[in-house]
Amino acid sequence: GPTKAPDYLTGLNPEQRAAVETTEGPVLVLAGAGTGKTRVLTTRIAHILATGRAYPSQILAVTFTNKAAREMKTRIGLLVGGEVEGMPWLGTFHSIGVKILRRHAELAGLKPNFTILDTDDQIRLIKQLIQAENLDDKRWPARTFANMLDGWKNKGLAPKDIAEGDARAFANGKGRELYAAYQERLKSLNACDFGDLLMHPIAIFRGHPDVLFDYHRRFRYILVDEYQDTNTAQYIWLRLLAQRSASSGKAAGGPKPRSAVPAASSPAREGDKASEDIRPFSDDGEMPFDGDRFERPFADGYDDPDAHDGMWDEPASAEIAPSPDRETSIRVAADERHSGNRHVDKATQESRPTINICCVGDDDQSIYGWRGAEVDNILRFEKDFPGATVIRLERNYRSTGHILGAASHLIAHNEDRLGKTLFTDTPDPEDPKVEVNAGWDSEEEARAIGEEIENLQRNGHNLNDMAILVRASFQMRTFEDRFVTMGLNYRVIGGPRFYERMEIRDALAYFRCVCQPADDLAFERIVNTPKRGLGDATIRLLHDYARQRGVPLIAAAGEIVETEEMKPKPRNTLRRLVADFRRWSELLASTKHTELAEQILEESGYTEMWQADRSAEAPGRLENLKELIRSMEEYESLPSFLEHVALVMDTEQSGELDAVSIMTLHSAKGLEFETVFLPGWEEGLFPHQRALDEGGRSGLEEERRLAYVGITRGKRRVKIWFVSNRRIHGLWQSTIPSRFLDELPEAHVEVMEANTSYGGYGAGGFGGYGASRWDGGAAFNEGAYRTPGWRRAQAAQAGFADGGQGGRGDGWSGGRTRELTYESDQSP
Ligand code: ATP
Ligand code: MG
């Protein structure tokens, strides 16, 4: 008879449930914002685990941020009713990439304890290469080349793949050469950059089918969130991992076609008991392990958390995975190991292994085109994975009807889209409309938003439920300053990061030198910080010596102090420094890492340097150093902490504190908040001028998707702002309202009265000027605003169309909500 579905499935709608229960075969969930895509992924993992289809370490799950990965882990735990141990392969492309690379570093010419360069290091290194080529680094800036490198690596292009024309774009055709030299230099530094975290694994997979095959056997299920924002390199990496038929060599027969029939209504298949049988995990959530341990020469302190999971030893699958859908490859593998003890059905063995990949995404939320993301990846999913089940979700669970209406109407202005239906619950008359507010300048915008936040707080709303989403990070500072003045708690997410502060970077450089003696860039950074009298001449000497011998700087320093090549004074200083580093390195194994870190900063004189500093920032810097040591506590060792720092993309702040979040629209992807403030909706800022200049229509469409992402973050309240004056790069500029405002549907939007200290906004009936509702005033105000003709025409059109629609005499066109106009004395 029918069995009761497990709790975690009951809240899902039929389509969501199909996406969760169609565990075998390729699945694409293509759906709009807030329809539960991420929830489906999370539940799907819980389902796979609960039904014993796979163990945590057999699931590869890719999220867009580290934060999302952590949240997903917690939620899975809640769904399956207990701690989820393991899930070692749930993370971002980068964090999974680095893990794979550490296992096989030698295959990429690296040692397993390689360093990951941050942007600063990268730029410094490129600069050296450019100078070594005798090129003018003013004419050919390192930063430009770093961007080119990034672009190539996002496309999965190695130096040999660079087209001639592409290479010529930099330094008269030296681009490709520089790229190759850069990679060589990285190798000699035992380092890689972020792009390499995917590039190296791709090369390894391609060059070593045995390695790839191991991963094919390991990853039973692959899941990817935010699939619309994968770039080509990520796509190649995924396909290599997913297309297991190629290297397992068992390909035959086509994949079974799938349909999106909710499994709930389909008859239970024979042997599919697994779904009813919620298996408890073994104590550690991992496979019993029979001594065939995966061993790699990990450097001291680099403890690969996966090294003892025993998963390279394939389980006797029939016992843990009674589902007939479960992988041929398991059976084959098991059979191979147990030398024919197990009966293997010939037909099963020959059929092509199922590719259990599930990607979820929304083409309307593709916002990383500028960083190489290819929305096409999502559009060609069905071609890539024939027989894929495509599931659409249409019910939005996140936002009110007004928010959804506003977002949908706006995004409909894009031509390049698949188009989706979205609906939400019957609107509650109490739901507030999307607000549009006008302000005089950015200061006023920050002040007014601050006041609104305080009001909401007074009425019992948590700061944690509010976010300010900006288009450009420079907008953040005004809010930060304002909130500091007000004493309002806030956190900046993905902004100028804690780990990027000078004192933190210095301290980290010391730690890197201790853990990774080949890290020349770190050594260069601190060799004379604090000032030790080791000037440029000494550094140059060290460099020459190191180059001649082909050793790292720190080793060169150790040797050179035994020679006569240096003057006695710097020689003694350097000798002491080298001895310090040796001592610290030896202490790595025996001393608690937080104590050692503190000791390093003390003994090197670094802490003292800031204690002696009389500047206003010095106390704050000392605070930050303390905070740095505190934050290490969570990690096991100095190396694992350093790795965390290298990977961390968003500012890690205490989640306990009730605080407003400030972040860019880009980093808000996937998140949701009760109340969302969207400041800065002005032409040039949003849509951003650079996107328009460089991207043309597609640039504009990407900006519009960003606006869609912004609006759809809101659950209940969305408050948009635009101002007439904004300081951009230190200069006040008068601005005109964003065209996106014209694209919002009147029915879901309320134009707020100017309720601020500047009462200078005149009121006027909607459409009364026959121009845009936003800059209708501007049309009459030629002195202050020069509205382009196309815009006025478009605005007029919009104005009349909307005016007709909204001609009920209430709200829009009458008293309560009013047209915003500008008065001439408001020009700056
Ligand atoms: P985005 O495109 O913005 O990433 P999404 O499609 O991933 O959105 P989720 O974040 O998974 O959407 O879900 C949005 C909200 O709706 C969440 O708060 C989620 O818990 C809730 N939700 C999703 N499905 C259901 C459901 N079946 N019942 C109740 N709430 C749901
Ligand atoms: Mg999501």
Identical fold at 401-447+660-759 and 498-647? Answer: no
Q: What is the spatial distance between Cα 226 and Cα 126, in angstroms, rounded to a whole number?
A: 32
The answer to whether residues 500 and 488 touch, using CB atoms and an 8 Å cutoff, is no
Asked whether 733 lines ligand 1 (CB < 6 A), one says no
Per-domain residue ranges for the chain?
Answer: 7-101+202-315+354-390, 116-189, 401-447+660-759, 498-647
**Residue for token pair 């506590």:** 633
- Provide the pLDDT for residue 79: 86
Ligand 1, pocket-test mutation among 12, 21, 35, most atoms within 8 A of CB: 35
Ligand 1 center to residue 93 CA distance, Å? 22
Ligand 1 center to residue 357 CA distance, Å? 20
Helix (H, G, I), strand (E, B) or coil at 262: coil
- Taken as a whole, the chain contains a residue count of 828
The answer to whether residues 462 and 484 touch, using CB atoms and an 8 Å cutoff, is no
Give mean pLDDT, residues 116-134: 85
pLDDT in tens, 717-728: 999 999 999 876
pLDDT in tens, 646-700: 765 334 444 557 899 999 899 899 999 999 999 999 999 999 988 888 878 889 9
Judge whether 446 is annotated as a binding position: no
- Provide the pLDDT for residue 823: 25
Give the residue, by CA position, lying nearest to ligand 1 atom 23: 36
pLDDT in tens, 757-793: 433 333 332 332 223 444 433 333 332 333 333 233 3
Give the residue, by CA position, lying nearest to ligand 1 atom 16: 397
Nearest to 784 by CA among 715, 698, 727, 724: 724
Asked whether 35 lines ligand 1 (CB < 6 A), one says yes
Lowest mean pLDDT among 186-190, 276-280, 513-517, 519-523: 276-280
Residues 349-362, buried b or exposed e (16+ Cβ, 10 A)? eebbbbbbbbbbbb
**Is the predicted ipTM greater than 0.90, yes or no?**
yes
Given a cut of 90, is residue 735 above it in pLDDT?
yes
Judge whether 32 is annotated as a binding position: yes
The answer to whether residues 610 and 622 touch, using CB atoms and an 8 Å cutoff, is yes
Ligand 2 center to residue 37 CA distance, Å? 5
Judge whether 35 is annotated as a binding position: yes
Asked whether 33 lines ligand 1 (CB < 6 A), one says yes
Of the listed ligands, the closest to the CA of 12 is 1
Superfamily of domain 401-447+660-759: P-loop containing nucleotide triphosphate hydrolases (3.40.50.300)
Q: Looking at domain 116-189, which CATH architecture does it have?
A: Orthogonal Bundle (1.10)
Nearest to 677 by CA among 716, 725, 640: 716
Asked whether 397 lines ligand 1 (CB < 6 A), one says yes
pLDDT in tens, 135-184: 887 788 888 898 889 889 999 999 988 876 666 567 777 888 899 999 99
pLDDT-derived band at 500, boundaries 50, 70, 90: low
Of the listed ligands, the closest to the CA of 19 is 1
Ligand 1 center to residue 71 CA distance, Å? 13
Asked whether 715 lines ligand 1 (CB < 6 A), one says no
Ligand 1 center to residue 25 CA distance, Å? 24
Give the residue, by CA position, lying nearest to ligand 1 atom 9: 36
| Residues carrying an active site annotation | 37-38, 225-226, 365, 713
Q: What is the spatial distance between Cα 645 and Cα 650, in angstroms, rounded to a whole number?
A: 10
Q: Can you read off the two tokens belonging to residue 388?
A: 């894929």
Q: What is the spatial distance between Cα 198 and Cα 97, in angstroms, rounded to a whole number?
A: 6
Ligand 2 center to residue 360 CA distance, Å? 8
Ligand 1, pocket-test mutation among 15, 78, 397, most atoms within 8 A of CB: 397
The third-level CATH classification (topology) of the domain covering 498-647 is PCRA; domain 4 (1.10.486)
pLDDT-derived band at 274, boundaries 50, 70, 90: very low
Asked whether 34 lines ligand 1 (CB < 6 A), one says yes
Helix (H, G, I), strand (E, B) or coil at 621: helix
Average of per-residue pLDDT values in the chain:
76
The answer to whether residues 325 and 343 touch, using CB atoms and an 8 Å cutoff, is no
Judge whether 494 is annotated as a binding position: no
Given a cut of 70, is residue 270 above it in pLDDT?
no
CATH of the domain spanning 7-101+202-315+354-390? 3.40.50.300
Helix (H, G, I), strand (E, B) or coil at 490: strand
Of the listed ligands, the closest to the CA of 398 is 1
Give the residue, by CA position, lying nearest to ligand 1 atom 8: 34
Q: Can you read off the two tokens belonging to residue 374?
A: 């290819």
Ligand 1, pocket-test mutation among 8, 38, 666, 709, most atoms within 8 A of CB: 38
How far, rounded to the nearest angstrom, does the alpha carbon of residue 419 sit from its chain's CA centroid?
25
Nearest to 100 by CA among 233, 200, 184, 193: 200
Asked whether 38 lines ligand 1 (CB < 6 A), one says yes
Ligand 2 center to residue 225 CA distance, Å? 7
